[in-house]
A and B are shown apart, each in its own frame.
Chain A
Amino acid sequence: MNKKATKIVLALLAVAVLALGIIWATGGFAAKADGHITVVVKDLGDKLLAEKKIGYKTGDKLTDLVKNNFKNVTYKEDQYGLLIMTIESITTPEDWSTWIAILINGELAQVGISSLEFKDGDTISFVNTQLIPQ
């Protein structure tokens, strides 16, 4: 295969991988079955601000469940999906010195709120967190 043909084949493969990646990264998650989750909101120093057991139905999205069950919930669109910026009395400042970490069953979520997969019995925590721990 000459150089031009090799470049075309490689470019097409790369475009396909990129397209799949964008679809994967921007796609959200909806519940696959009915169930209950516990949602916890904690301020700095692990101070409990709110805790609710929330029932959900197939197709429900976590963003809507949180927004409908807690006060002052706002999201911001980001390249990685939605970011939760405020919940109850917690607000992410402009300098991002604190941010709202999402934990699922005590472990830091690896994806944003719109893509976070949850199932019956999970505990999802929104924890106000210092960017650089003191």
Chain B
Amino acid sequence: MAALTAVLLLQKQLLTFLPNITLNFFLILLYAKVLGLGRTAAIVTVYLLLDSILWGSLNPIFTSAQWIGWMWGPLITCTLLKKTENSIPLAFSAAGFAFLYSWTMIVPTALVYTNQIKNLWAYLMVDIPWELMLAVSAFLPTLLLYEPMAKLMRRLWKKREQRS
């Protein structure tokens, strides 16, 4: 699980040169599918703490909201999408998780910057292209990589469980 957390953290750092492009949604969905809700929640929590410390953005309002934002994916994947293995609906779901994350983050942003955001509607409109990019970066890897990666990860996880 530590290695999976490291993968999550590392890809985020490697992709920072691209605006709003991340494999987070795909990886979190994959982890949720293979490992289940509890283990994925632990990975997300450790990842979020390390990432926030690394970027100097650790604070109660934003970090809590980010945790909620990241947890929409595993929560929905392990309940409503529990039986879905087809990468097409999963890719659309991953894109949906990206929008849910973005909309969750609007709450702390509006709370903290309340004295500067005079037109929340304009802020929401300007945010849409960024949300769309995040959604596409969640959609594409899930569509193309989910099925082979899930197969591989399940095999590796089974081997690990047999050994322990």
Contact with B116, one of A11, A17, A79, A101 (Cβ below 8 angstroms): A101
Give A57-110 interface residues, CB cut-off 8 Å to B. Answer: 79-81, 94-96, 101, 103, 106-108, 110
B163 at the interface (CB under 8 A from A): no
Q: Which residues of B contact A133 (CB under 8 A)?
A: 112, 115
Closest to A79 in B: B19
B99 at the interface (CB under 8 A from A): no
**Given A22-B133, A25-B20, A79-B20, A96-B57 contact (CB < 8 Å):** yes
Whether A21 pairs with B61 at a CB distance below 8 angstroms is no
A96 to nearest B CB, angstroms?
5
Q: Give the interface size bracket for B toward A.
A: 35 or more
Q: Which residues of A contact B144 (CB under 8 A)?
A: 7, 11
Q: How far is the CA of A25 from the CA of B130 in the complex (A)?
A: 8
**A contact face: mostly helix, strand, loop, or mixed:** mixed
Stretch in B3-11, B43-51, B135-143 touching the partner: B135-143
Report how many A-B pairs have Cβ atoms within 8 Å: 82
Q: Which residues of A contact B61 (CB under 8 A)?
A: 132
A29 to nearest B CB, angstroms?
14
B18 at the interface (CB under 8 A from A): yes
Q: How far is the CA of A107 from the CA of B134 in the complex (A)?
A: 25
Q: Which residues of B contact A11 (CB under 8 A)?
A: 140, 143-144
Whether A10 pairs with B117 at a CB distance below 8 angstroms is no
B15 to nearest A CB, angstroms?
8
Q: Which residues of B contact A25 (CB under 8 A)?
A: 19-20, 129-130, 133
Whether B19 pairs with A10 at a CB distance below 8 angstroms is no
Whether B91 pairs with A10 at a CB distance below 8 angstroms is yes
CB<8 Å pairs between A and B, sample of 26:
A7-B87, A7-B143, A10-B91, A11-B143, A11-B144, A14-B143, A18-B21, A18-B133, A21-B20, A21-B129, A21-B133, A21-B136, A22-B133, A25-B130, A79-B17, A81-B19, A103-B116, A107-B119, A107-B122, A108-B113, A108-B116, A108-B117, A110-B123, A110-B126, A132-B59, A132-B112
B residues in contact (CB < 8 Å) with A: 16-21, 56-57, 59, 61, 86-88, 91, 112-113, 115-119, 122-123, 126-127, 129-130, 132-133, 136-137, 139-140, 143-144
